[in-house]
Amino acid sequence: SPRIGVLALQGDFREHLAVLTALGADATSVRRPSDLESIDGLVIPGGESSVMDKLSRLFGLAEPLKAAIDGGLPVYGTCAGLIMLADTVLDSIDGQQSIGGFDVSVRRNAFGSQLDSFETDLDVPVLGDVPMHAVFIRAPVVESVGESVNVLASLADGRIVAVEQGHLLGTSFHPEITGDTRFHEYFLDKVRAHSN
Ligand code: GLN
């Protein structure tokens, strides 16, 4: 079974560890650079991206993460995790940077105060005909995508909330908390395809 690291500096990493374990993956927390050495894929969870960014620098993880992503490590980012992966972050705070690799620009907290958090059913064609119930919590949106990026899901108003680029996968929302494991399965398929 594939060994999947979950970046465990901050945020809802426990939920991802639980889903991945339930799907039969060998899921493990990533807190230091050496934790990156033995994994086949990585999940970056939801949380607060500016804090995650600071902690990743403090723990010396930012550069090794960049190198791993450049080297083709499959990575799935949810919400703050997607922000961490984005090449461009709009409305960042506190000198926040990102690890990058994903040719997208994302806007933090894009839904404003009224729609701070909301739930909706999303069509995700790549996951089949059944819509996915999606939970957005102070979520980012993807404002633009590069040529090599596939859009996997958009809201009814056209705003992009799920993307893929080769070995990278990102969602603005949180499949790790709804019990719908299709995105995690999709990611595990990507990891298996990559390690074969
Ligand atoms: N608003 C958070 C950020 O900018 C993301 C929220 C989340 O991960 N649920 O990092």
Taking only the tens place, the pLDDT of each residue in 64-83 is: 999 999 999 999 999 999 99
> What average pLDDT does the structure give for the chain?
96
Taking only the tens place, the pLDDT of each residue in 92-126 is: 988 899 999 999 999 999 998 767 899 999 999 99
Residues known to be catalytic: 79, 174, 176
Give distance in angstroms: CA of 68 to centre of ligand 1.
Answer: 23
Q: Is the pLDDT of residue 3 over 80?
A: yes
Indicate whether this complex's ipTM tops 0.90.
yes
Q: Spell out the residues 6+ positions from residue 131 whose beta carbon is closer than 8 angstroms to its own.
A: 121, 122, 123, 124
185 assigned ligand-binding residue: no
User: Measured between alpha carbons, how far is 193 from 131 in angstroms, rounded to an integer?
Assistant: 25
User: Measured between alpha carbons, how far is 19 from 34 in angstroms, rounded to an integer?
Assistant: 23
> Does the model's pTM come out above 0.90?
yes
Q: By percentage, how much of the chain surpasses pLDDT 90?
A: 94
Give distance in angstroms: CA of 167 to centre of ligand 1.
Answer: 22
Regarding the domain delimited by 3-195, which CATH topology (the fold level of the hierarchy) does it fall under?
Rossmann fold (3.40.50)
4 contacts 27 by C-beta, under 8 angstroms: yes
Residue-range domain boundaries for the chain: 3-195
Q: Is the pLDDT of residue 16 over 90?
A: yes
Look at residue 125 in the predicted model and tell me its pLDDT: 98
From 83, 69, 71, select the one nearest 168 (Cα to Cα). Answer: 69
Q: Is the pLDDT of residue 192 over 90?
A: yes
88 contacts 104 by C-beta, under 8 angstroms: yes
